[in-house]
Structure 1
Amino acid sequence: MPHLLITDDESATRELIAEVAADVGYTVAQAGDVRQARIQIERQKPDVMLLDMQLPDGDGIELWKRLELTGCHVVFMTGHSSVESAIEALRCGAVDYLLKPVPLRRLRGILAELMNAAPGGADEPAAQDAFSRIVGKSPAIQLLCAHIEKVAPTQATVLLVGESGTGKELAAEAIHLASRRRDKPFMAVNCGAISPNLIESELFGHEKGAFTGADRQHKGYFERAHGGTLFLDEITEMSMELQVRLLRVLETGRFMRVGAHDEIAADVRVVAATNRNPEQAVAKGTLREDLYHRLSVFPLELPPLRAREGDILLIAEHFLQALNREYGTVKRFSEEAQQAMLAYHWPGNIRELRNYVYRSYILADDVIKGDFNAFSLDSHSAGWGSEITVPVGVPLADANRQLILATLKQCGGVKKAAAEMLGISLKTLYNRLEEYGALNEVDESSSSLR
């Protein structure tokens, strides 16, 4: 059995955590301060350590740094949260950072997830913490997670509404992982990235010979996600005819493959998402009103990054530390870079921040500095690329064409990077380039990245 050391000066907190840990399957030792922690470690090296950041006789982070416990995972706890302390915890390689009073559901998920990684851990894969990929401590993100936790155990359909790049797929996955369906498939479908001629077949499947080129039976997403969760992103991009079929599936729980005559039961929970105002989409005729009401049994709005006070630096540090771990580096943000990130509006939200961190990491030696105009679209900076000027009155399609081609050029012809920067799928980018007749006008040397 893996061994856990709880170091906290509050005995009630230690006892509560010890009870949870014992239920998960750990042996447990307790310490009330730095001195006691050292004694316990000499008796038995822990596989996991829950460590208060402020102890009566020392600093928890400094203790962790001095211990140099290879193979041990640490989770820091604190009753006095700050962005700086959270970032410092992440820099120390912490698995997580918990605010007191410790959320027991989240704690149980973390301990279960670490169980399999620890020597003597469980033979079966541990259950994932539903919120492990959602980084942030802001009130807005805590409220979102609380709502997800409420709706996840039910069978209610959920409509996620939020700007591009706010993490709608991560929220959908959290709903799945916190539900009774977590051991079944989670499948994500971008309705705007599939050709209108193919999306019906992709969703519901087809029989052999159903249409030209259908040389075998094909199971669609509804069938492959049986027992699990189906995430339908960009739902307003779906044709009205297909919206009728989707509505019928949601109401009857049954569907038919294209070219078939027998219905199939659909044991699937649907989570849909849109980056548009759904009521405006209904008014414009791009979303059926009856489908909207059927999908939004439990609507959830994802906050934009600019509304997540305190989360920008946490998320940036999370991305940076992931790169440091992957490449064995110790790069860090300078104070100037942190201030620049806080001052920026982030219209592209988390996706834009992730891309900025990635590019800055590549360009930096040891310190990511703030002495660059990273957000001005100046082609001579470490930022986004060249400016384009679009006169008022230019058709939207032409403006989109200019933006897509300029972004692709700035990315050196690497389509995957351009798609990520634009916030669209790779398939959507290919479709647009084919439409513009520009598919072969860029450097194809990076085809392995597609």
Structure 2
Amino acid sequence: MPQVLLVDDDPDTIGWMTEFIRAEGFTVGSVDSLRAARIHLTRSKPELILTDLMLPDGQGIELVNEFEAGELPELVVITGHASVESAIEALRAGATDYLVKPVDIERLRGILQRVPKTEHLREEIGELRNELLRLGRFGHILGNSPAMRKVYDQMARVAPTSASVLLVGESGTGKEVAAQTIHELSRRKRQPFLPLNCGAVSPQLVESELFGHEKGSFTGADRQHQGFFERANRGTLFLDEVTEMRPDLQVKLLRVLETKSFMRVGTNEAIATDVRLIAATNRSPEKAVAEGRMREDLYHRLNVFPIHLPPLRERGTDIELLAEHFLAELNEQEQANKRFSPEAVAALYAHSWPGNVRELKNYVHRAFILADEVIEAELAPEAFLQPAHSPVLTIRIGTPLEEVNRRVMEATLLECGNVKRKAAEMLGISLKTLYNRLAAYNAGKGGSEDGADGLEDYDDEDDAPEESRRARR
């Protein structure tokens, strides 16, 4: 049987928790101090340690120092309501989760159910490290540069825990891919992974998407709808562009993180949820807090374990590795054997890649279509060859303004490597406005008004509206 060590100086807590954990199929050892716990650990190696944060002779989190790197069992701290911030610090120090007194039985049961999988996760992470050495791949992520190796180390450390993760990086650096890799290395891997782009969904719909709604709660709510927190229970919820969320929704998100419960729109009934949250932003979160775009208390709750994803221009030979990988995929799909010339490879390194990995993938696809057998340097976008000059778009006098707007938008998208967020910034409009105009232009070509038939417009997976991504699936 798996073994649990309880560390608490409250006899009542030890009593009921011991009885409950045994009923769940574990053997239980219990001690009442940090010193006694250290002695116990010299005699046995439990799969789970449940420790009160504040003990008579120190803090329970100090037990992480009793284990070598990579050998720490799941360690969960138990704290009172007044010490939630201390629990966050414990997660940063190496704890895998925390419980708030009075302990919620279902939360404790969920932690116990994850325990037997710990060893498998360590083996899986070890296999990924071996694959990285052989192939330059870590889960879904390709790259072998020192900057990315640092990211992999951080991901391997945080994945087996339940700590919230904040991914920070420019648009196109692969934040959703990183989030999915963390999920698949966690104890929640067999449960749902649901992504939601907070910046690409109408502000009026975000609350319903997150928390769900009851039938009749607002105009058009003709049936009950389960939100992401309900559908992702026991799994992982990925909130991209979290700094774009309305302040009132940030308050509700913070409440979910603190209480592990939420309410559907149109009801006051609380629903318990056990969701691991991974958030992402392409902004500086500290700057977003300073500008009032993000609540400081929410930032600290999400920033338990921050990971910075480096831009492609800082990843050295990963540029060539990724380009060759994308080209190999296209060769396999099209039964071709195209290759880059040495001059084309040199051009890859000369470009700054403002759209990062997404821009590189789009470029390789375009060059593949245009090339015969060898992709030459002249197939590089004009920005590669003349970085100091912007392309010129010629428009005949008298062209209808709607047509002018459409052509300028499409040309700007092409210039940005189809990175829609960068195109929106260059055009001086919001990302949502850009999506709406693209949908309208597509509708004019025969697509639907809501853009559902024009999914080719949304080929930037990280930036696509959630409605379009669901339609794709």
What TM-score do you get using the length of structure 1 for normalisation? Answer: 0.62
Distance 1:442 1:287, change over 3 A: same
- Find the aligned partners of 1:176 and 1:159 in 2 and give their Cα distance: 13
Aligned partner of 2:323 among 307, 316, 319 = 316
Distance 1:152 1:448, change over 3 A: closer
- Find the aligned partners of 1:403 and 1:309 in 2 and give their Cα distance: 38
- Find the aligned partners of 2:421 and 2:361 in 1 and give their Cα distance: 10
Match of 1:136 in 2: 143
Give yes or no for contact 2:214–2:264 (8 Å, CA) kept in 1.
Answer: yes
Displacement of 1:409 in angstroms is 4.8
Q: Which letter does structure 2 place at the counterpart of 1:108?
A: E
Aligned partner of 1:250 among 232, 254, 257 = 257
The root-mean-square deviation of aligned C-alpha atoms, in Å, is: 3.6
Q: Which letter does structure 2 place at the counterpart of 1:203?
A: L
Match of 1:193 in 2: 200
Aligned partner of 1:149 among 146, 153, 156 = 156
Q: Which letter does structure 1 place at the counterpart of 2:151?
A: L
- Find the aligned partners of 1:144 and 1:109 in 2 and give their Cα distance: 13
Distance 1:321 1:407, change over 3 A: farther
SS in 1 for 2:238: strand
Deviations 1:192-245 (A, max 9, x none): 011011110000000011111101000001111111100000001000000000
1:366 equivalent in alignment to 2:373? yes
Match of 1:65 in 2: none
Match of 1:299 in 2: 306
Distance 1:441 1:215, change over 3 A: closer
Give yes or no for contact 2:359–2:419 (8 Å, CA) kept in 1.
Answer: no
Runs of at least 5 residues in structure 2 that lack an aligned partner in the other structure: 1-121, 395-403, 448-452, 458-473
- Find the aligned partners of 1:448 and 1:279 in 2 and give their Cα distance: 34
Displacement of 1:431 in angstroms is 4.2
Distance 1:423 1:168, change over 3 A: farther
Higher helix share: 2
- Find the aligned partners of 2:419 and 2:356 in 1 and give their Cα distance: 16
Q: Which letter does structure 2 place at the counterpart of 1:408?
A: E
Displacement of 1:372 in angstroms is 4.2
SS in 2 for 1:160: strand
Aligned partner of 1:263 among 254, 262, 270 = 270
Distance 1:243 1:197, change over 3 A: same
Distance 1:144 1:208, change over 3 A: same
Distance 1:282 1:109, change over 3 A: closer
Q: Which letter does structure 2 place at the counterpart of 1:365?
A: D
Aligned-residue identity in percent: 51
What TM-score do you get using the length of structure 2 for normalisation? Answer: 0.59
Match of 2:75 in 1: none
Matches within 5 A, 1:11-410: 105=124, 108=127, 131-376=138-383, 386-387=391-392, 406-409=408-411
Displacement of 1:421 in angstroms is 8.2
SS in 1 for 2:279: strand
Distance 1:421 1:236, change over 3 A: closer
Runs of at least 5 residues in structure 1 that lack an aligned partner in the other structure: 1-102, 113-128, 390-401
Q: Which letter does structure 2 place at the counterpart of 1:209?
A: G
- Find the aligned partners of 1:403 and 1:364 in 2 and give their Cα distance: 31
Q: Which letter does structure 2 place at the counterpart of 1:406?
A: V
Q: Which letter does structure 2 place at the counterpart of 1:432?
A: L
Distance 1:387 1:156, change over 3 A: farther
SS in 1 for 2:237: strand
Q: Which letter does structure 1 place at the counterpart of 2:156?
A: E
- Find the aligned partners of 1:130 and 1:294 in 2 and give their Cα distance: 31
Query: How many residues align structurally?
Result: 311
Give yes or no for contact 1:204–1:258 (8 Å, CA) kept in 2.
Answer: yes
Distance 1:175 1:403, change over 3 A: farther
Deviations 1:163-197 (A, max 9, x none): 11111111111110110001111111000011011
SS in 1 for 2:203: coil
- Find the aligned partners of 1:233 and 1:437 in 2 and give their Cα distance: 21
